[in-house]
Structure 1
Amino acid sequence: MMKYLELVVFALFINNGVTARDSFTTNFIKHYILNEETPTQTIFWDLCWDTSTVVKLVNELSKAGFRSSTLMGNNAPDYLLHNVLFLVDYNCPNIADIIFTGTRKKLFSSPFRWLVLSGTNINQTSLDLLMDCPLLPNSDVVLAERDDHGYKMSELHRSSSSQPMIKTPRGYFNGTFIDTRPHRELFRRRRDVMGHPLTMANVIQDSNTTQYHLPRENRLELQFDSIAKICWMDVKLAFQMLNATPRYIFSHRWGYKQNGQWSGMINDLHTGKADLGTNCMINDKERLDVVTYTDMMAPFRVRFIFRQPPLSYVSNIFSLPFSTSVWVAIIVCAVVSTVTLYLASKWEANLGAGPSQLDGSIGDALLLTMSAVSQQGCFLEPRRISGRVTAWVFFAALMALYAAYSANIVVLLQAPSNSIKTLSQLAASKVTLAANDVDYNHFVFSLYKDPVHVTIYKKVDPEKGKGQFYDINEGVERIRQGLFAFHSIVEPVYRRIEDTFLETEKCDLAEVDFMNGFDPFVPVRKDSPYLELLRVAFKQIREAGLQSALVRRMQVPKPRCAHKVSAFSSVGILDLKPVLLFMLYGTAASVAILVLEILTFKLSIRNAGSISRKTHK
C-alpha cells in the first residue's frame, strides 16, 4: 500500500505540466475507433486537454457516427456496456486517481475497453501504475505510446494475477492506421493462459468411488455419477485448449442457500475455491447473483419416471371392445330377435304347446334372447322350423361377436392406459409418488408454490410421517412393480432399467417433468476473467462432436420398445371391477324383484281372501 501511494505522489509530481494534444492525436483516436468496427461510446475520463481540442475530437467522432461524453451514466443498461471505450491520457495529472477508481470498480475487465495515451516524457516508474493493474485475460486495454514517428499500440494483459504483464504489439499509426493483430477475436488472442491452474468443482452423490475413477477417466462404475464424469472429461479438453493446468475438488451438494449462506458447489464458486463446476439446472434465481452459466456439457433430465397404469385401472375395458354404433346395433338386433321369436312362438302356441316350448308370451321370447346374448342355454325353445332358424341365426351371430369381444378383452387387460401425460394428471392419479434420496430432491420440491406442485410435494414429503425417498435400486424395482412414480435424473434410472426390466416391461415407461426448467449448464464464478475463454472452448467442443461422443459412451438413453412381445399377465380384482359391480347390481336387482314378487303374491292372496269372504256373505 505504501508503494502504491509513493507511485501516486510521483505521478502527480511528473505530470504537473500538461500540454494540449494536437490534431495528429485526434486523428489517431478517430482512426482507432473506426478500425474497431463496433458501436462505440467514448468516455473522456478527466482529460486535461484544452476545450478546443476536445470539441474538435467530439465533432470528428460525431461525423463518423460515434457518441462521446465526459462521464458514463449510472443507469446504463448492461447490454450497452460493451460499447463503452474509456479514453485517458497518461500525461494528465489525475491519472493515478483514474487507475485507482478503475481498479476499485472493476472497469478494467470485460465488457469495457480502454485506450491509454502515453507521451514521450512518461517515466517507467509512472507506468508501473498501469502495469500493476489486474489486467486479466478478459481485459481489453491498449497502450498507445507516442514517438517521433507516430503512435505505437500495445495490448496489456496477464494470464493470471500472479503472472507478469504481457505486452503484445497491436499496430501503429503514422498517418495511416496499421492493425497487426493476427485475429480480431479477443478469445483467439488470449486463449493461452500460460499453464495457469483452473479448478473444477465436481458434484458426486451416488458413490464415493467416483473420487477415484473421475480423474483417471477409466470408465469404470458408469452407473455412478455419470454426469460429473462427462463434465470433467469435457472441461479437461477445454483446459487443454486453453493451456491451463487442470485442478479438481469434490462436493456432495449442488448448492442451495440456507440461512443466507451457500452450500456445496455454489459455495466453492462463490468463495473462489473453484473456477467452474458440474453443470446444473437453472431453477434457482438466487444462483445468478454468484455464478454465470456458460454451455451444456452433460445433458440430463430430471423427471418423474413410471410405468403407465393398466387400462383397466382408468377405464371400463368391458365397454371398449366395440364402438357405440356396434353396441347400438347389438341392442337393435336383440329387440328384433325378441319380436321375431315372440311372433313365431305366438303362432306355434296356437298349433299346440309342449313342456319346453315357448308359450307365446313376450317374457319367454325375451328370456331366450338374453340367454343368447350371454351365451347361455335356455330350456325353452321354438318347435317349428321358422322359430328355430331365427334362434340359430341369432345364436350364431352373437357367437362371432362373443369371440371378437373376448379377444379384445384379453388384449385390453395387458394394454397400458397412456392416461398420465401431464403433471396435473399425475397429481390426481392413484400412483405412489417418490423421489431419489439425493441432495437436490430435498430442495427442489419446495421451490414451487402453485397448487399442483404443492400437492405433489405433500405426497412425496408429507408434513407428518416419513417421506417417500428411496435409493435408485429400490426405486427402479418399485417402478417395475407398477403404480409408482420415481423422481430422479433419468439417465442412471434408465441404466438400471436396462439391467433389470424385461422387454415387455419397457414398453409402457413414461416421464413427467416436475421442474419444467431449462437444460443444465456449466456454472462459472461470477465475473471470472476466464468466462469468455471457457464459453468459446465449450462451444468448439460441442460443435466438433466430442461432447456427443462422450455422452453416448457414458449415458443410457430411454429404453426403446421395438415390438411388444406377448406375455402372461395375471388378472386382479381391479381388472374385474366393472364385472363385479355388474354382478353386485344384478344381485341387488334380483333381491328387489324377489321382494316385489313376494309382496305381490301376498297381496294377491289377501285380495282373493277378501273376495271369497264377500261372496259367502
Structure 2
Amino acid sequence: MGHPLTMANVIQDSNTSQYHLPREDRLELDHDPIAKLSWMIVHIAFQMLNATPRYIFSHRWGYKRNGQWSGMINDLNTGRADLGTNCVASSDRLSVVVFTDSIAKFKVKFVFRQPPLSYVSNIYTLPFSLNVWFATILSIVTSTFTIFLATKWETLRLGKSQTQLDGNIGDTMLLTMSALSQQGCSLEPKKISGRIMLFVIFTAMMALYAAYSANIVVLLQAPSSSIKTLEQLANSKMTIAALDVDYNRFVLKAQKDPIRRLIYKRIAPNTGKEQYYSLNEGVERVRQGLFAFHSIMDSVYRRMEATYLETEKCDIMEVDFMNALDPFVPVYKHLPYLELLRVTFKRIRESGIQEALHKRIYVPKPRCTEKMSTFSSVGLLNLRPVVLFMVYGISASIIILLVEILVHKNSNRSHKRISSKILKYFED
C-alpha cells in the first residue's frame, strides 16, 4: 500500500555514487559496485511489494567500538533504515540485525601477478634435466681425455710448437671449456685426427649452447606458480598492500592467527609507511609486478580490463584472506516485513533477474586469450646467479693469484738460500 521502506547504502569509493546510485545509470561502476547492485535488486523488491523506496547513505559498514555501533549497522539498529547493503555476517552483527538472503555476492581477496620464474629459482639450471647435465659433464671429460691423448701423440711425433697443444692436461681442459662456451683458443692440435676431434666437439657444443640459450630466453619471461596460499604470500618478497578504504583497516586488523597478523604487520608496520593505496595506483603496481593488493575483486578486474595488455592477464593470481561466507542483506531486527522481503529476494533470484544484473554489473577475472611472448627487460635480479658466479670466479682467481705469488716468493727464497749455502761451501 505504498508504505515507505528505507535502505542504507554504504558509499566508500567515491561521493559521486550518491548521485549515480538512485538513478541506476550504470555510470562509474568501478566505484561502489556492491552498493549499486544491491540497490538495483532491492529497488525491484520494493516495486514487487508495492513499497515506496527511500534511501540514506553511510560511509562505513558498521563496527562495534567501545560498545557503540557505527555506520550502516548503527542505522539499522536505531531504526533509521529498514535494510542495508550486502555485508559479511559476524557474531557481533547478529546480535543487532537479521540477515536474509545474498543478493550481491562479492569477493575481497589479494590479487597479484605471479612473480617471474627467475625470482624464485635459479633458471640457469632449469633448461636441461639432470640426465642431460650428467651427459654434458661426461662429454666434457671424454673430450678432454681424447684430445689429451691425441695431442700427446702429436708432441711425441712432431715435437712442440708455439701454437700446438703439447699434451698438457690443463691446456686441454681450457680448450674444451672454450668449446663449451663457444670461445676460441690459441692452442690447437696440428694433425688431422686431432682437428677432426676438435671440429666434432665444437659442433656438438654449439648445438648444446643454442638449445641452452633458447631455453634461458623463454624462462626469463615465464611466470612461476610459487604463490598459491596465504602462507606462501606472507613469506614471499612481494610488497603486500590494501585498498585505502574503511573496511580494510578494520578487517585486516581484526584477524588473530599468526599468518594473517604477519600480513597485517607488513601492510601497517609499527614504524614506517603504511601500505594503503588508491584503486588506480594499486592496480598499476600489480601490473608492474611483485605487488599484492587486497581489495574487492570487481573493481580491480574492471580496472585491469581497461589498462592491462592481453599478455599481462595470463599470470593473475588471487588468494583469499578472510575465508568468509557469502555476504547477506542485513535487516532491522523488528521489521514486520522481514518475511516478505525474504520471499521476494528468493523470487528475484529464482527468476534469473539477480543473475542478469550480476552479469551486467560485475566483471569476472580477466581471461588469458593470448600467451604470445613479448619483449621484457632483464634486470640484475634476473641475472643474480650469473653475477654471483662471476663474483665467486673473480674471488677464486684473486685467491689463486695470491697463493701463486706466495709460492713464487717462497720458491725464490729457497733457491737463494740453497745457492748461498752452495757458494759458501765452495768458498770454504
Aligned to 1:172: none
Q: Unaligned stretches of 5+ in structure 1?
A: 1-193
Aligned to 1:364: 171
Aligned to 1:76: none
Aligned to 2:112: 306
How far is the alpha carbon of 1:527 from its aligned partner? 4.8
Residue 76 of structure 2 aligns to which amino acid in structure 1? L
Q: In 2, are the aligned partners of 1:312 and 1:413 still within 8 Å (CA)? A: yes
Residue 288 of structure 1 aligns to which amino acid in structure 2? L
Q: In 2, are the aligned partners of 1:289 and 1:526 still within 8 Å (CA)? A: no
Q: TM-score, normalised by structure 1?
A: 0.67
Residue 609 of structure 1 aligns to which amino acid in structure 2? K
Taking the TM superposition and a 5 Å limit, the aligned residue runs for 1:131-530 are: 194-282=1-89, 284-352=90-158, 353-530=160-337
Q: For structure 1, which segment, 398-407 or 306-315, has the greater mean C-alpha deviation from structure 2 after superposition?
A: 306-315
Q: In 1, are the aligned partners of 2:310 and 2:369 still within 8 Å (CA)? A: no
RMSD value over aligned CA atoms? Answer: 1.5
Q: In 2, are the aligned partners of 1:270 and 1:290 still within 8 Å (CA)? A: yes
How far is the alpha carbon of 1:465 from its aligned partner? 3.2
How far is the alpha carbon of 1:566 from its aligned partner? 2.2
Aligned to 1:606: 413
| DSSP 3-state at the match of 2:39 | helix
Give deviations 1:360-417, integer Å, cap 9, x for gaps. Answer: 1211211111111111111111112222122211111111111111111111111112
User: Between Structure 1 and Structure 2, which shows a larger proportion of helix residues?
Assistant: 2
Q: Distance in 1 between matches of 2:409 and 2:209?
A: 41
Q: Distance in 2 between matches of 1:351 and 1:198?
A: 109
Runs ≥4 residues deviating over 3 A: 613-616
Q: Distance in 2 between matches of 1:323 and 1:528?
A: 68
Q: In 1, are the aligned partners of 2:148 and 2:169 still within 8 Å (CA)? A: yes
Q: Distance in 2 between matches of 1:288 and 1:315?
A: 48
Q: Unaligned stretches of 5+ in structure 2?
A: none
Q: In 2, are the aligned partners of 1:433 and 1:485 still within 8 Å (CA)? A: yes
| DSSP 3-state at the match of 2:390 | helix
Q: In 2, are the aligned partners of 1:304 and 1:511 still within 8 Å (CA)? A: yes
Q: Distance in 1 between matches of 2:351 and 2:225?
A: 39
Q: In 2, are the aligned partners of 1:241 and 1:537 still within 8 Å (CA)? A: yes
Q: In 2, are the aligned partners of 1:345 and 1:358 still within 8 Å (CA)? A: yes
Residue 347 of structure 1 aligns to which amino acid in structure 2? W
RCO comparison, higher one (Cα < 8 Å, 6+) = 2
Give % identity. Answer: 68
Larger Rg: 1
Residue 149 of structure 2 aligns to which amino acid in structure 1? L
Q: TM-score, normalised by structure 2?
A: 0.95
Q: Distance in 1 between matches of 2:333 and 2:135?
A: 72
Residue 213 of structure 1 aligns to which amino acid in structure 2? H
